[in-house]
Structure 1
Amino acid sequence: MFADPRRGHPVAGFGRAAAALEGRLYGDSRARGAVFTGVCVGAAAALGVLAERSGRPAVRCALTAVTAWAVLGGTSLAREGMIMARRLEDGDLEAARARLSHLCARDPSGLDAATLARATVESLAENTGDAVVAPLLWGAVAGVPGLVAYRAVNTLDAMVGYRSPRYERFGWASARLDDLANWIPARVTGLLTVLAAPAVAENGTREAVSDSWRILRRDGGRHPSPNAGRCEAAAAGALGVRLGGANSYGGRLELRPELGDGRKPEVEDVRRAARLSRAVTAGAALAAAALALGAGR
């Protein structure tokens, strides 16, 4: 119901604290990176444990609600997709390129409308897993500590989990921990995307579900990430598009395998991808609630 605040976001505060700690601990080694990751995630989890143990049930309920709001990003993610859709529909490529950084770290300079549309669709698909499904599932099984610890892991990966000269070794622990934390949620995201495919079906409900499941099984493991490919492949099948190709990150070109066998994404597919993200978000909320109830939380 409520998107991220424009200023003073708790996750941004964690990011600033982590950046300050990085300045003190940084060294070009996996060991130092592991210590950095352990301190940041451990501190977040410890705060979560203290929060969950404090007060009466009503207080714990309020703390859980506030924490869930702080770590979830589905509403803002879908809104960013719609902003990109409007700018691309208006033909304002400069504004669209400037906005792409809100969704991913790709170099937007020189991207045309079709490539910007593909980048947006891929980012919406992948980030629905990171921003919605994963935190909800971790919260369902581990409460407030699960919520904050997962968001800490994911934030560290976004900060230092790069294969760059600075972070190749220092960011290794953060990147691998993020892969581990997202392993099950990414596959759940793929399944939820298959179930949500009717929300964006162009050629019939049954065909959309069948195509999404087929592409998920066939192409989900082709992506260099052990998790992102599951989310993107299922979305490609649901939308009837083909994702993947050349991406530029800070001057470094990466060639990603193609996912799906439909047409290339077009501008109108951005709105469909945002709608699909919302449908997966709703499914994830129901699944997490059922999981929490089943676990006696």
Structure 2
Amino acid sequence: MLAGVAIDAAFADPRRGHPVALFGTAAAALEKRVYGDARSRGVLYVGLCVGPVALLGYAVTRRGNPVVRGVLSAVTTWSVLGGTTLGREGVAMAEFLEDGDLEGARGRLSHLCGRDPSRLEAPELARATVESIAENTSDAVVAPLFWGAVAGVPGLLAYRAINTLDAMVGHHNARYEHFGWAAARLDDVANFVPARITGLLTALAAPLAGGSVSEAAAVLRRDGHRHPSPNAGRCEAAFAGALDVTLGGANVYGDRVEHRPEMGRGPKPEVQDIRRSVRLARAVGFAAAGLAVLAVLRGTRR
């Protein structure tokens, strides 16, 4: 696991042939065959996607040379982590906005979230970036490491499959309201504990971003439950307190507008807060890696 974290820190995600992208292609093809506007169809779809992936992870690490198993664990950890890529995307957004290139920033925002950026100005682009970094610190770093510590390679692969399916079909719209229900709810369950670990680690790491542990913890306690997502709110509230900013507001997704409750007690994020959020996310990621390894070592000794 440590080797996988190190590889991700050095090389980030591969540009071509990423295993998650290959899984997404296969899942999209399967969706065409099993889609139906019913929750039962969605449950079948999730089972057919996640079950084989978890079994594959179990099979490849069940037997064989310990060195081979170690290499497979490292490669799998690298393939499911996205912390370095997340940080690079945050820095890219900061650079566009620091240069006054709104069109470049609007075009780049799709790498982080699905909001409609066409009418967003610099302050809203900064808010969207900070919120996406906060939420994805859990989804792309803490949660994979948590499930890797709990269940090894099968846990790593199953979590990434669940999270990818949620991104693909877990939406509130005419096509996926029923079919995507199982993917969305399973993702909520898989991220329940990791999101709260992310919130706690963010509060503890707040001084590294110029914030206060007590303020981050206070905002986490007060506002973490107010978000419509049972998990994203914990991450965003902790980041808001650690950075001393206010997150939340109206988000536009195509023809749909979602009004999110405000979290935090400071001003709205500005461009300079993006780099602070990246620094905070990296600290949380490394802390999560340390905790995951300690948990594995403790379990091995037992």
- TM-score interval, normalised by the smaller of the two chains: over 0.9
- Runs of at least 5 residues in structure 1 that lack an aligned partner in the other structure: 203-207
Q: Which whole-Å CA distance do the structure 2 matches of 1:262 and 1:182 have between them?
A: 27
- Counterpart of 1:77 in structure 2 is 86
Q: Find 1:37's aligned residue among 13, 31, 46.
A: 46
3-state SS of the aligned residue for 2:279?
helix
Q: Is the 8 A contact 1:141 1:295 kept in 2?
A: no
Q: Which residue of 1 aligns with 2:255?
A: 251
- Among the aligned pairs, what percent are the same residue? 68
Aligned-residue offset at 1:174: 0.1
The correspondence for 1:176, drawn from 175, 181, 185, is 185
1:227 aligned partner, one-letter code? N
Partner Cα separation in structure 1 for residue 97 and residue 63 of structure 2: 48
DSSP-derived class of the 1:258 partner: strand
Q: Distance in 1 between matches of 2:150 and 2:38?
A: 33
Structure 1 match to 2:63:
54
Aligned-pair distance for 1:188?
0.3
Counterpart in the other structure of 2:282: 278
Is the 1:121–1:270 Cα contact (8 Å) retained in structure 2? yes
What's the counterpart of residue 68 of structure 1?
77
Residue 25 of structure 2 corresponds to which residue in structure 1? 16
Q: Secondary structure at the match of 2:72?
A: helix
- Measured in 2, the distance between the counterparts of 1:172 and 1:243 equals 27
Aligned position for 1:201: 210
1:149 to 153, 158, 181: 158
Q: Distance in 2 between matches of 1:250 and 1:148?
A: 31
Contact 1:236 1:259 in 2 (8 A): yes
> What is the alpha-carbon root mean square deviation over aligned residues?
0.8
Deviations, residues 48-76 of structure 1 (Å, cap 9, x unaligned):
00111131100000000000000000000
- Contact 1:106–1:247 at 8 Å: present in 2 too? yes
Tell me how far apart the structure 2 counterparts of residues 11 and 107 of structure 1 sit (CA, whole Å). Answer: 24
1:49 and 1:5 map into 2 onto residues whose CA distance is 24
The residue type equivalent to 1:113 in the other structure is A
Q: Does 1:227 find its partner at 2:255?
A: no
Corresponding residue pairs, total: 292
Q: SS of the residue aligned with 2:12?
A: coil
* Aligned-pair CA distance for 1:277: 0.6
Residue 264 of structure 2, aligned match among 251, 260, 271: 260
CA distance in 1, matches of 2:15, 2:93: 18
**Counterpart residue type for residue 293 of structure 1:** L
Q: 1:216 aligns with which of 214, 220, 223?
A: 220
Letter in 2 for 1:170: F
* 3-state secondary structure, aligned to 1:27: coil
**1:251 positional shift:** 1.4
Q: 2:6 — aligned with what?
A: none
Q: Which amino acid aligns with 1:250?
A: G
CA distance in 2: counterparts of 1:51 and 1:267, whole angstroms = 45
| Paired position in structure 2 for 1:205 | none
Per-residue CA distance 1:36-95 (angstroms, 9 max, x = gap): 001101011011001111311000000000000000000000000000000000000000
Listed one character per residue, the Cα deviations across residues 172-203 of structure 1 (whole Å, up to 9, x for unaligned) are 0000000000000000000010111111015x
- TM-score, structure 1 as length reference: 0.97
Q: After TM superposition, what 4+ stretches of structure 1 lie above 4 angstroms from structure 2? A: none
One-letter code aligned to 2:177: E
* Match in the other structure for 1:97: 106
Q: Which amino acid aligns with 1:278?
A: R
| Residue of structure 2 in register with 1:25 after alignment | 34
- Once the 2 structures are TM-superposed, how far is the Cα of residue 225 of structure 1 from its aligned partner? 0.0
2:134 paired with 1:125 = yes
Q: Under a length normalisation based on structure 2, what TM-score does the superposition of the two structures give?
A: 0.96
